[in-house]
Structure 1
Amino acid sequence: MHRNHPLTPATLPRRGFLSNLGATMAGVLTIGVATRATTASAKSRPAQVSNALSQDTWLDGLDGQHGQIFEAPALHGGAALKQARNFLDVYRDVYDLESSEVDVAIAAHGSALSLFFQDRVWEKFGLGERFDVKDPRTGTAARRNVFASREEGGIVPADASVEALQERGVIFLLCNNSLNGLVGKLAHAGFGTPEAVRADILAALLPGAQVVPAAVVALSRAQEKGLSYVYSGG
């Protein structure tokens, strides 16, 4: 990964520099081999729905030359999706880097969680009414996830849909704290017990979506891995 800063002689005491340098180079070689093996394994696996709380597994595949994580605190017309698309497009069109060479993640909380729910969640829990999202096909409150699939004339361009971005390797993260908050509101509205509502939602995440303990921690962890940060608040 090219985002790390190399050690220089100026940062080390003169005595022991050569021995430290030798140990460092040996460690770099070992890490490089392990990273390539892990990356190859991760990229060969198909995306799967994660119903359990994911902590740091999503960090394993972050090996691109450049990377960015987008914080999506609300739907805002799919702003985070469009920004992620633009980020990948510029690196492809201007810098000749394919999406496999660039890391992109979206950390969703608040109403943005619903970007990554299947249609049946939108319909069952009336998320279109709850979040004031209209379906371009009907002009009424959305009963499906209008951000999920490629669709001309949709809320977001077809190539900025969740489906299109997933194919380009974008990582989708959902804040567990926000999820618990949404579950509580839906349960209070009469949709069932919190346990039943949570089970319904987790069983209907879009492929590749992962629930993490907290978006704020995911943002921190991504930046520790070298990704830059963008607020997609609209």
Structure 2
Amino acid sequence: MTIDNSRRSALVGFGALAVGAAALAAGPSRAATTERIIPPGARELSDLMDRLRRAPRRRDFKTTPMILQHPDFWDDEALKEIIAYRGTRKQVWNNTALASPWLNLMRNSINAQIFSFGHTDFLAVSATHGTAHLALFDQATWDKYELAALAEAKFKTNTLAVPKPAPTAFAQSEDPESVFGPDGDTIPALQDRGVVFMACHNAIWEVTAKLIASGNNPDHASHEAVAAELTNHLIDGVVLTPGIVATIPELQQAGFHYAA
């Protein structure tokens, strides 16, 4: 089994408000347009981000079955780390619609938790499925399989996976043009703030069915092979689950508050 260990690094400095001095190099699969913005003093969250960075992700599948019955087929180690998170404030978002304000809502939630309530170790998790799951595939996959045809009209490309250049210092948290404002409504910006995006194998299987039915299968591959390729092209940092709807109660059982 080949393991893809490339990950963006966690910010480990706690003493300064300006972000960047202690940032490590970003992983090779993503341009370093933003830096990790973990709040100073957020030890539990920073430790989790570091463990997730080291957790293996298998992205060398040749085929995947309809129902995953063995943890080798999902990111089991990373998922267990999230379920075992020791922070006392944690929320799981049931995100299903690509064109909904799902990224905006998560950004507003972490802003209020951190700056209003002072919960620096707050963890937000995106339980991603439905059309929102299309945002978790890289642009090469959008191009090859014409995923824009499955997305809402305004999405010609996967713009949600592209970070925007914006200030990242905590001292600029009131700046609406910083990552704490609408420019932070991207998956990379939220990942840099500690948000975890979870992928759904069942959603991948269902997207595959739609592609095959519509004739968007340029390699004329089997359902199992196309699903494997889509899995291999999840964007960096995503945590693959055997099924989001089944994973949500696992998180709730561990104390995650449900939001939709």
TM-score between the two structures when normalised by the length of structure 2 = 0.62
CA contact (8 A) 1:63 1:103 kept: no
1:1-234 mapped onto 2 (5 Å cutoff): 40=47, 43-44=50-51, 46=53, 49-51=57-59, 52-55=73-76, 57-61=78-82, 62-77=85-100, 79-98=101-120, 101-135=121-155, 142=156, 144-151=157-164, 157-190=182-215, 191=217, 192-193=220-221, 194-231=223-260
Aligned-partner SS, 1:133: coil
Deviation at 1:175, TM superposition (A): 1.8
* Greater radius of gyration (CA): 1
Distance 1:226 1:145 in 2: 32
CA contact (8 A) 2:197 2:239 kept: yes
CA 1:41/1:178 → structure 2, altered by over 3 Å: closer, same or farther? closer
TM-score between the two structures when normalised by the length of structure 1 = 0.69
| Structure 2 residues not aligned, in runs of 5+ | 1-42, 60-72, 166-176
| Structure 1 residues not aligned, in runs of 5+ | 1-35, 136-141
What amino acid does structure 2 have at the position aligned with 1:114?
L
CA contact (8 A) 2:204 2:230 kept: no
CA contact (8 A) 2:128 2:198 kept: yes
Deviation at 1:49, TM superposition (A): 4.7
Distance 1:169 1:149 in 2: 17
Distance 1:165 1:50 in 2: 23
CA 1:71/1:56 → structure 2, altered by over 3 Å: closer, same or farther? farther
Aligned-partner SS, 1:151: coil
Q: Which string of whole-angstrom CA distances, capped at 9 and with x for unpartnered residues, describes residues 94-140 of structure 1?
A: 12333xx01111111111111211111112222222222325xxxxx
Query: Sequence identity of aligned pairs in percent?
Result: 23
Q: Which has the higher helix share?
A: 1
